[in-house]
Amino acid sequence: MIQVASVRPAVRMLASGEAMALPGALAAAAGFVGLDSWMNFAREIYGLGLYRLLATEGDRISGLLALVHVRHALFGNYLTTAPFGSYGGFAYTSVESRDALLAQAQTVARDLGAEYVCVRFDQGEMKPPEDWIQEPIYATYCADLNSNAESMLSAYSSDHRNHIRKALRKGFSIQFGQLDLLEDAYEALARSMHELGSPYHSKGYLRAMAESLGQSLELAVLYGPHGDLAGAGVFVTQGNRVTNLHANLLRRFRPDYGGEFLYWSVITHYAAQGYEVFDMGRSLMGSGNEVFKLKWRPKKKVLAYWYFLPGGGAPPALNQRNPRLQIAIGIWKLLPPFIVRAVGPLLIKGLA
């Protein structure tokens, strides 16, 4: 609940190596991408600058804004929350603390000569303060979980239930694990991302992520009827929710509803463990990914993508709707795997 500040908020930047201890409600609102385990991982794997701003009201912590600084030859010089995640890293208990954090972020951006700041969080219905603009093109999709699989299944359309049942008869299998599944998870994700025309991280990225997040991260690998790789996913738990960080299917398994098998397996796996919410991750609104996710009857939540542009202009169009990126995607699909896997991490480090 957002309150009125009792005293004027103060903002300070945490020192490098200084541990951040947030109250439970703020930690949950910031999400795992705002916590030290994730921010330190993002900094170490790609050498990003780290700027963690903490707001206090008296002796009480009242807000967090965790930013990384990206400098990339193709994608520019910018600050963003939730590096390599969907949203998070921004939480507050009062509007006054929110605005104090955003004002300090503007100062940091000017000092660094950044082209823009992007603050990504889950309050897309909220109007940004002066000097910030909202670009509402992404949403996330959160499905309620319970331990009764039949009751969840009955909430879907008859067509969707039929597709899930067909998938269950196709001979797919799935394994959940951690570093024991690293090789297969990486291989499936790298192949499927190549098919989509998108760069992907290195195997070392997945390994470092798993080591940093520990038991809160789980890998899932989907296998086809003959034991061949069909897809994979990376899932992170925090509190009562599980978040889909990456989940992809190889194209040739789509006609057999491999995506339905993967998602249904994930839903029942985490529901049986007592998790209450499955965050399917962000998608561009109006995209095919959104159409697929809406079949699971989630609550759609428009994300806040707030931009501050010191030099004015429009937010960067770093998404699939950009015609220039469409051309790049088409070319990427045609490149051989050895080029894609060597160059991909060098590109994606600029798309935090």
Q: What is the CATH number of the domain that holds 42?
A: 3.40.630
Return d(Cα 59, Cα 57) in angstroms, integer. 6
Do 36 and 83 share a domain, yes or no?
yes
Tell me, what CATH number does 236's domain have?
3.40.630.30
Element (H, E) at 275: none
Q: Is residue 344 part of a domain?
A: no
pTM, entire model = 0.94
Do 117 and 225 share a domain, yes or no?
no
Return d(Cα 95, Cα 62) in angstroms, integer. 10
Q: 244 near 283, Cβ under 8 Å?
A: no
| CA within 13 Å, CB half, 164 | 22
Q: What six digits make up the tokens of 23?
A: 């109250």
DSSP string across 225-242: TTS-EEEEEEEEEETTEE
Do 52 and 94 share a domain, yes or no?
yes
Give the angle 40-42-44 at the CA atoms, nearest 5°: 65
Range of the domain at 171: 140-300
Give the strand pairing for 277-279 and 241-249: parallel
pLDDT values of the chain reduced to their tens digit, one per residue, 352 residues: 677 767 799 999 999 889 988 999 999 999 999 999 999 999 999 999 999 999 999 999 999 999 999 999 999 999 999 999 999 999 999 999 999 999 999 999 999 999 999 999 999 999 999 999 999 999 999 999 999 999 999 999 999 999 999 999 999 999 999 999 999 999 999 999 999 999 999 999 999 999 999 999 999 999 999 999 999 999 999 999 999 999 999 999 999 999 999 999 999 999 999 999 999 999 999 999 999 999 999 999 999 999 999 999 899 988 888 888 899 999 999 999 999 999 999 999 999 9
- Residue 299's contacts (CB-CB under 8 Å, 6 or more residues apart) are 141, 142, 143, 144
Do 114 and 158 share a domain, yes or no?
no
Give the total number of structural domains in the chain: 2
Strand segments (E) across the chain: 10-13, 49-57, 60-72, 76-80, 90-92, 116-121, 133-134, 138-144, 173-177, 217-223, 229-238, 241-249, 277-279, 283-284, 299-302, 304-308
Do 147 and 226 share a domain, yes or no?
yes
Do 104 and 158 share a domain, yes or no?
no
Do 307 and 242 share a domain, yes or no?
no
Q: Report the pLDDT value the prediction gives residue 3, as an integer from 0 to 100.
A: 74
Q: Report the pLDDT value the prediction gives residue 231, as an integer from 0 to 100.
A: 98
Q: Is residue 85 part of a domain?
A: yes
Do 19 and 144 share a domain, yes or no?
no
Do 14 and 127 share a domain, yes or no?
yes
